Amino acid sequence: MTLAEFATTHGLKRIGARPPFFKYIAEVWQRRGFAWMLSNFTNQATHARTRLGGWWNILLPTIQAGTYGLIFGLILGSSRPHNFLPFLFTGVFLFSFMSGCFQSGAGSITGNSGLVKSLTFPRALLPLSTVIQQFINLWPQIALLLITILITQQSLTVSWLLFPVVILLMTSFSFGLALVAARLNAQLRDLGKLIPFVIRIAFYVSGVFFSVDKVLGKWPEVMAVFKFNPFYDFIELARGLLVNGYAPTTELWLLCIGWAVLLPIVGIVFFWKAEEVYGRDD
């Protein structure tokens, strides 16, 4: 009898083996409290050494939106999109949520090596907790956005009721994004260096501060490809619901639902496949 047979006949299980997919999902779900608490604590720790503490969660997006409003408002001049401030704020806040999930998701394994190296738990909890953290920080921004829109548009429409659905779809998509980024960065640290550039490029091509339809209107075939940019889809759909003068098309709804279903599935499978590799000292 070999040692392996000896072990299995006594009911011992191989340690460190990646659990089957659905068992893995169940384990993640069972320990969701850990992800929730980790995101809360990380959030507190981020601002713990500043005087203003949690107020930064509101101050930062306000400053960010103010800066972009000023700069793009001046640069774009008369070519500003219609209803500029609500247009810009929707773009900036939604984009910063998605790119934030991407960036912090990428660092979720590498940046928590203390946890990864000392405790065994399903590693997908780490990207999950960064998405929860971003989600918590999104609320003050949403509040700021809605207040801005209320002030500038002076109206409240029924379509606002669908806005939470967009947030939900966008969060689901971002979770998938965080999972993919987490594995890529954990296995190939070099990619981490490129993340700021990827985000910058995405910022400029997702119609955050300009109207894509206006710019690409002359080239319908480019536009047909461009429509698949998920950042653009979510921002444009939210604008359709909130900002006067923009409409949420069925096509946008379908694209957003597609991204929100597809990416988390791809992400979790992709992440789970490398579960045994995370936290190795190399």
The verdict on 114 binding other proteins (CB under 8 A) reads yes
Shortest distance (Å) from residue 189 CB to other proteins: 11
Nearest to 232 by CA among 247, 261, 212: 212
Number of chain residues interacting with other proteins (CB under 8 A):
39
Element (H, E) at 277: none
CB atoms within 10 A of CB 277: 14
Of the candidate residues 25, 42, 136, 203, the single one contacting other proteins (CB under 8 A): 42
Q: What is the spatial distance between Cα 114 and Cα 77, in angstroms, rounded to a whole number?
A: 50
Q: Is 94 in contact with 168 (CB distance < 8 Å)?
A: no
The verdict on 188 binding other proteins (CB under 8 A) reads no
CB atoms within 10 A of CB 210: 18
The verdict on 50 binding other proteins (CB under 8 A) reads no
C-beta closer to other proteins: residue 90 or 185: 185
C-beta closer to other proteins: residue 13 or 218: 13
Of the candidate residues 24, 34, 72, 135, the single one contacting other proteins (CB under 8 A): 34
Q: Which stretch binds other proteins (CB under 8 A): 109-117, 158-166, 175-183, 244-252?
A: 109-117
Contacts of 264 (CB under 8 A, 6+ apart): 172, 173, 175, 176, 179
The verdict on 154 binding other proteins (CB under 8 A) reads no
Nearest to 148 by CA among 57, 65, 59: 65
Shortest distance (Å) from residue 130 CB to other proteins: 14
For residues 11-30, which are near other proteins according to CB under 8 A?
11-16, 30
Nearest to 240 by CA among 151, 177, 159, 178: 159
Which residues contribute to the site for other proteins (CB under 8 A)? 1-8, 10-16, 30-31, 33-34, 37-38, 41-42, 44-45, 48, 114-115, 117-121, 276-277, 279-282
